[in-house]
């Protein structure tokens, strides 16, 4: 497979698992194309044309050659300069890395991270929170995230890859969509009553089982093992990151009948609000959840005969039937 084909495949998996649904994603792309066509020429020049076909602003081609044939990939949760140098060192040791795949955004994908956050509106809407309310609360966060990441040195590791002639992409929301769908469907199929049961069944998933051994598995941040679950919403899994005012969502979640939230991570303000509104929080584990999402995409590469070398915390587990 070529670099571009791998990237396109990841976007396809992301769309298939998108909380908005494939139709809504198509509508979103249509609206981006319409907005673009209405831009004045000067603004059109500044516009990132990739946004016309890729609905995930936080996932991009980062460095190297899009047409390069790939047989071996190195995949990590965070790829900084050290990660890029690791790929070069592996090559020196006889394991040539054709492509680096990072999960967390770098480069322009980091600069544009906030643009995927509106997707979270659909996640909360699935749990019963009206779209206008979720959108209103999330909007404050989107703007604050944009300001927070604006001064960052976005291009540090992509520049290293470019200098060393290594190809690099990053896949963020497509992988997070995949874990969101996987965990949501998994929980829905079980008839669970208490928070402790939810934690137990999460630990049966290989990535979370491994993370538990590593000290970063599922834990309860609000509520207790004996607490009644109520309606479960997997809400902190996809859509970029959490922004300012995120804690305001808990009052609404309680109001619209959500009893338990499953998330990758939450802040202390979130936890305080959840406790105040009697919402349980189960933290599935950040890196384990990111790994599970990536695994769903990497399985597709494995099926095409590509070798996967995990690094930077990535827990590789294959679901490919052998």
Contact residues toward Fe ion (CB under 5 A) are 176, 290
Minimum distance, C-beta of residue 175 to Fe ion, in the bound complex (Å): 6
Minimum distance, C-beta of residue 277 to Fe ion, in the bound complex (Å): 25
Cβ proximity to Fe ion, 19 vs 223, nearer residue? 19
Cβ proximity to Fe ion, 261 vs 290, nearer residue? 290
Minimum distance, C-beta of residue 94 to Fe ion, in the bound complex (Å): 31
What are 235's two structure tokens?
A: 């809400």
Between CA 143 and CA 145, with CA 144 as vertex, the angle to 5 degrees is 90
Cβ proximity to Fe ion, 195 vs 297, nearer residue? 297
Query: What whole-number distance in Å separates Cα of residue 103 and Cα of residue 293?
Result: 10
* Strand ordering across the sheet containing 219-222: 219-222, 280-283, 258-263, 231-236
Minimum distance, C-beta of residue 56 to Fe ion, in the bound complex (Å): 12
Minimum distance, C-beta of residue 104 to Fe ion, in the bound complex (Å): 6
Residue 254 DSSP symbol: H
Radius of gyration for the alpha carbons in the chain, expressed in angstroms and rounded: 20
Query: What whole-number distance in Å separates Cα of residue 241 and Cα of residue 43?
Result: 28
Cβ proximity to Fe ion, 133 vs 175, nearer residue? 175
Cβ proximity to Fe ion, 123 vs 195, nearer residue? 123
DSSP string across 89-153: HHHHTT---SEEEESS--HHHHHTGGGGTTHHHHHHHHTT--HHHHHHHHHHHHHHHHHHHTTS-
């Amino acid at each position: 497979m070529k670099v571009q084909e791998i990237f396109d495949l990841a976007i396809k998996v992301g769309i298939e698992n998108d909380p908005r649904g494939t139709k809504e994603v198509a509508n979103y792309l249509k609206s981006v194309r319409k907005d673009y066509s209405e831009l004045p020429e000067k603004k059109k020049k500044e516009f990132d044309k990739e946004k016309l076909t890729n609905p995930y602003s936080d996932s991009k081609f980062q460095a190297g050659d899009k047409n390069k044939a790939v047989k071996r990939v190195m995949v990590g949760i965070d790829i900084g300069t050290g990660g890029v140098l690791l790929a070069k060192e592996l090559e020196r040791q006889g394991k040539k890395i054709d492509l680096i795949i990072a999960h967390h955004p770098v480069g322009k994908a980091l600069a544009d991270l906030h643009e995927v956050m509106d997707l979270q509106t659909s996640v909360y809407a699935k749990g019963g929170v009206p779209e206008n309310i979720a959108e209103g609360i999330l909007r404050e966060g989107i703007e604050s995230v944009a300001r927070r990441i604006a001064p960052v040195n976005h291009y540090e590791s992509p520049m290293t890859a470019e200098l060393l002639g290594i190809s690099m992409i990053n896949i963020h929301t497509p992988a997070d969509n995949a874990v969101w769908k996987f965990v949501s469907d998994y929980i829905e199929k079980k008839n669970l009553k208490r928070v402790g049961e939810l934690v137990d069944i999460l630990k049966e998933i290989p990535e979370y089982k491994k993370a538990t051994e590593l000290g970063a598995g599922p834990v309860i941040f609000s509520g207790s093992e004996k607490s009644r679950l109520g309606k479960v919403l997997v809400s902190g899994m996809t859509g970029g990151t959490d922004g300012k005012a995120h804690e305001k969502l808990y009052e609404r979640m309680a109001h619209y009948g959500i009893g338990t939230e499953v998330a990758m991570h939450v802040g202390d303000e979130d936890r305080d609000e959840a406790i105040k509104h009697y919402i349980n929080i189960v933290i599935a584990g950040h890196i384990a959840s990111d790994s599970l999402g990536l695994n769903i995409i990497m399985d597709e590469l494995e099926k095409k005969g590509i070798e996967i070398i995990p690094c930077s915390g990535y827990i590789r587990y294959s679901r490919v039937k052998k």
